[in-house]
Structure 1
Amino acid sequence: MKLSLKKSEGNASSSANTKKAAGGVTVKQIQAQNQKPNSPASTVSSSGSGSSSRFSFSNPFSKSSSTKATTAATGPPPPITSLDIRVGRVTKVWAHEKDAKLYCFEIDIGTKDGPRQIASSLRSHMYEKDLNERMVLVVCNTKKQKLSGFASHGMILCATNRDKSVIKLVDVPIDAKIGERVVVPGHASGEPVAEKKVEKVVEKIAPYLRTSQYGVPVYCGKPLSTSAGVCTSPVKDGFVLEN
């Protein structure tokens, strides 16, 4: 399951660059990351994901989307607790037999039902051997969906730069508890929305999910946190997507 961000067309105008994006940071202040991805693929495509796509929203760094983000910021954003984001551990990962974009995962999220099966289009960005036993953040209240025939139920949080040339897993503190729910300071705990409503919520929350100048995933400027501390990422001044 994946949140696909459309690639920005052209350069934003100087006036658009001075507008404030969600979180109070001007687009002009956000610079593209020029680092190369640690990827098995020599060239990483930033096009849509085809059959593996689930939700779609515009790149918040693009000219048109920065305006949308500014408009959205005039009203209160949905509470982050609308999403059921939990700590998980990858127990099994393998390449999809027919879809070259997909990895198939089994991820322990601490439920009695056993590991969650999740398909994610990370195959062009990460090696399979580096994913097994990794701690990850999983959005659990998404609808079940078949992606290229694989029954997927959840999404994995990743950090990315503006052109999606770099996509990395959000790093979870090593002492975080499997199955614990991620919290954000200042956001009271609450029940997540029903699976059938989560798509619209994700679209509204997405512009407010960023990575700070230190690579910390934040929502409205507040860090995504666990009982063992805040989550981190190697991507600075980027944004968070569900993959």
Structure 2
Amino acid sequence: MAALALRVCEQRASQAEEIVATLKRQLQLITSQATNSAGTAQTSQEVVRLQDENNSLTKQVEALKQRLCYLEIMNGKKQVQLPKVSSTATSSNKNDASPPKAAKTVEQSPTNPDNKGKPDQKKEKKQKKAEAETKKNAKNSKPIDISRLNLKIGHIVSVKKHPDADSLYVEEVNVGEESPRTIVSGLVRHIPIEGMQDRLAIFCCNLKPAKMRGILSQGMIMCASSPEKVEIINPPEGCVPGDRVVVEEYPGEPDTLLNPKKKIFEQIQPDLRTNDECIATYKGCKWTVKGKGICKAPTMAGFNIK
């Protein structure tokens, strides 16, 4: 029943549109004739009649269209508003066979198993690169002060003279790591071998390892120093290998490895000195091991620490 009514409405709408078109043509013709003949009362009346009839038919057409839409909806037909036809629409139809760009994007998304995780890998690489750059910038922005040095308490397990250098000792030092470090020190002329053996000292542990006469040195023992005399800086009592030496006024975590090109140690070293009480200081602030005390030289006051 609804289908029949739908067809009737469609026919009526089509007929009404044809009538409206015919009336418009007649109206234009009559208006033209009325203009040419200076118009008569009869022609004017005819024009008014046709205009009224045209308006009435237009309203009927609109009503029939609305009725048609209603019946189509009741029959399950979806109403879609048609876009305006333009010249660009015609030309775009030629490319309908090719897949849209949006579809390509979906096909290449990480959820597509055919991509074998490549987009994820690229994204992960970019993320890692950004994180590395951030860490690098953060490291470069750190202030250059004693907090950058990894100063640790170390126990000299064994010591011997360097086989190829009369002025160098080669020490095996426990600094609280899995295995001892080999450290080469130029102290032969200043400290007897007995004064080196089996003692605690302070070592800088994040200098870049360097070969000294063929033996790789992995750190440096910290000493008060002058051309005539050198004394090892003593840690406070109760220290154990691995304890960190800090300056409380300059908090911060040490670098994993000092970059020799940046010459960070060289910039810090001039401010490392013993004070009038032989206490090791940085810019006048004391070296300490937290909870255990201060670090100092045996007798040398007012000397650089190297």
**Does TM, scored on the shorter chain, surpass 0.5?**
yes
Residues 1:148 and 1:83: Cα distance change in structure 2 (over 3 Å): same
Deviation at 1:197, TM superposition (A): 4.0
Write the letter of the residue equivalent to 2:206.
N
Aligned to 1:157: 222
Match status 1:92 vs 2:155: no
- Secondary structure of the residue that 1:195 maps to in structure 2? coil
Report percent identity of matched pairs.
28
* In 2, Cα distance between equivalents of 1:173 and 1:132: 18
Q: Is the 8 A contact 2:246 2:289 kept in 1?
A: yes
Deviation at 1:173, TM superposition (A): 1.3
Q: Is the 8 A contact 1:217 1:239 kept in 2?
A: no
* In 2, Cα distance between equivalents of 1:126 and 1:191: 29
Aligned to 2:282: 219
* In 1, Cα distance between equivalents of 2:275 and 2:154: 23
Aligned to 1:167: 230
Aligned to 2:182: 117
1:231 to 273, 292, 295: 295
Match status 1:137 vs 2:202: yes
Q: Is the 8 A contact 1:142 1:198 kept in 2?
A: no
- Secondary structure of the residue that 2:203 maps to in structure 1? strand
Deviation at 1:198, TM superposition (A): 7.5
* In 1, Cα distance between equivalents of 2:232 and 2:262: 21
Write the letter of the residue equivalent to 1:229.
G
1:1-243 map, 5 Å: 78-112=144-178, 114-161=179-226, 164-192=227-255, 194-197=257-260, 200-227=263-290, 228-233=292-297, 234-241=299-306
Name the Cα RMSD after superposition: 1.7
Q: Is the 8 A contact 1:141 1:198 kept in 2?
A: no
Q: Is the 8 A contact 1:102 1:119 kept in 2?
A: yes
Deviation at 1:127, TM superposition (A): 0.5
* In 2, Cα distance between equivalents of 1:199 and 1:240: 20
* In 2, Cα distance between equivalents of 1:206 and 1:105: 23
Q: TM-score, length-normalised on structure 2?
A: 0.51
Structure with larger RCO (C-alpha < 8 A, sep 6+): 1
Q: Which has the higher strand share?
A: 1
Residues 1:100 and 1:109: Cα distance change in structure 2 (over 3 Å): same
Deviation at 1:223, TM superposition (A): 0.7
* In 1, Cα distance between equivalents of 2:262 and 2:185: 17
Provide, for residues 28-67 of structure 1, a one-character-per-residue CA deviation record: whole Å limited to 9, x for no partner.
Answer: xxxxxxxxxxxxxxxxxxxxxxxxxxxxxxxxxxxxxxxx
* In 1, Cα distance between equivalents of 2:216 and 2:254: 25
Structure number with greater Rg is 2
The more displaced of 192-201 and 118-127 is 192-201
Deviation at 1:191, TM superposition (A): 3.3
Deviation at 1:88, TM superposition (A): 0.4
Q: Is the 8 A contact 2:159 2:197 kept in 1?
A: yes
- Secondary structure of the residue that 1:203 maps to in structure 2? helix
Provide, for residues 43-99 of structure 1, a one-character-per-residue CA deviation record: whole Å limited to 9, x for no partner.
Answer: xxxxxxxxxxxxxxxxxxxxxxxxxxxxxxxxxx72211111100010000011110
Runs in 1 of length 4+ with deviation above 4 angstroms? none
Q: Which has the higher helix share?
A: 2
Structure 2 gaps of 5+ residues are: 1-142
* In 2, Cα distance between equivalents of 1:214 and 1:82: 25
Q: TM-score, length-normalised on structure 1?
A: 0.64
Write the letter of the residue equivalent to 1:225.
T
